[in-house]
Amino acid sequence: MIYFDNSATTQALPEVLDTYQQVSEKIWGNPSSLHNFGEQAFNLLEQSRKQIADLVGVHQDEIFFTSGGTEGDNWVLKGTAIEKRQYGKHLITTAVEHPAVHNSMEQLKNLGFDVTYLPVDKEGRISVDDLKNAIRDDTILVSVMAVNNEIGTIQPIKEVGELLKNYPKIHFHIDAVQGIGKGIQDQIFNDRVDFVTFSGHKFHAPRGIGFMYKRRGRKIAPLMDGGGQEKGLRSGTENLPAIAGMAKALRLLFEKEPQAIKTEREIKQRIIDHISKFDKIVLFSKNDSGFAPHILCFAIKGVRGETIVHAFEKYGIYISTTSACSSKKHIPSSTLGAMKIPESLSTSAVRISLGDQNTLEEADKFIETFDKLYDEFDKLG
């Protein structure tokens, strides 16, 4: 099997699963309990929080645990809207965000908030000038993804941060679900960012766990009330085995990061160099510094994306249409639509998403299979 769908989810590492099992079996007390067994659980919880904070270069009390990227995005957007509604009701995001952001914005619109969606250029990237022109006196939040989940575009988040230094009261959120471990931490954690959201299953941690960075001093309303966990901002008994596993997964990710990025770039370039020779291929991703190393989106003219996905699947190669969240709904790519790509072409788009376990030998096998399938598609017209 060749797994080229790492942007949808990654395989949990054996070392991570071992940590999950050990914690489940040996430290299963509630971190909120007063007795010694609960204290052991609490200590491990805070040890995991500190490890994650140290790895990403922030303070321990700025890390909050969530169930993943979707919850984190919902929390920042809706929590900011609730907390700052007396100061304004204008929110800004981009036209190419993940549904967790886009649909949250649409819900807030229905509740009386005003949302501006920034347009993108032919590479799926926003203009900082457009953002500057969109800011109003009543703007309370700017939300921009670090890496586009469909074509891999890196947004100008550092430049956005520089602009927002002139507007210190506006919350700045980055959805970094696709950006972790891709060599852009210095951009993600710039000195103006207020909130960053992550999902563990994108970097070999268990599913159903994630974390959020919240800058000291920034206020946000809780979406989940209850027992007062996570400083009263995110109630619910903590998923300690998954949290400890995620901390280990993050450490292993950063240890492998330089070599993984190098290999992903090489795999991506090898595939681009080959498939770009074919007449019916349209590439939507590049392999320069403006794009993440792990995502490659392309189309075969006249062949629907799901047909391409299932054709590769027969050879044990797993790719996806442009977004795992939308693939089964047969929804055209929102990113390509925002880039003004015709629907007749966007419905043919597929995504390869690489991880640190992929190899150049797998790229060669993909190319070999691609040639067979392209020939078959060509004969079918």
Closest CA to 218 of 140, 278, 298, 151: 140
d(CA 151, CA 353): 9
Q: What are phi and psi of 317, to 5 degrees?
A: -115, 125
What's the sign of the alpha-carbon dihedral 320, 321, 327, 328?
negative
Identity (one letter) of the amino acid at 238? E
Distances (CA, A) of 350 to 37, 167, 239, 296, 361: 49, 39, 35, 8, 21
Sequence-distant (≥ 6) Cβ neighbours of residue 357 within 8 angstroms? 3, 11
Angle at 236 between CA 142 and CA 23, to 5 degrees: 110
Write down the catalytic residue from 282, 325, 331, 367.
Answer: 325
Burial 324-345 (b: 16+ CB within 10 A, else e): eebbeeeebbbbbebbebeeeb
Contact criterion met (CB below 8 Å) for 210 and 68 = yes
Closest CA to 141 of 88, 186, 74: 88
Spatial strand order of the sheet with 139-145 comes to 63-66, 210-214, 195-199, 171-175, 139-145, 90-94, 114-118
Rg of the chain over CA atoms, in angstroms? 21
Burial 166-203 (b: 16+ CB within 10 A, else e): eeeebbbbbbbbbbbbbbbbebbbbebbbbbbbbbbbb
342 is written with which tokens?
A: 């015709």
Closest CA to 211 of 247, 181, 236: 247
Contact criterion met (CB below 8 Å) for 211 and 246 = yes
Is 297 one of the annotated active-site residues of the chain? no
Question: Which residues have a catalytic role annotated?
Answer: 325
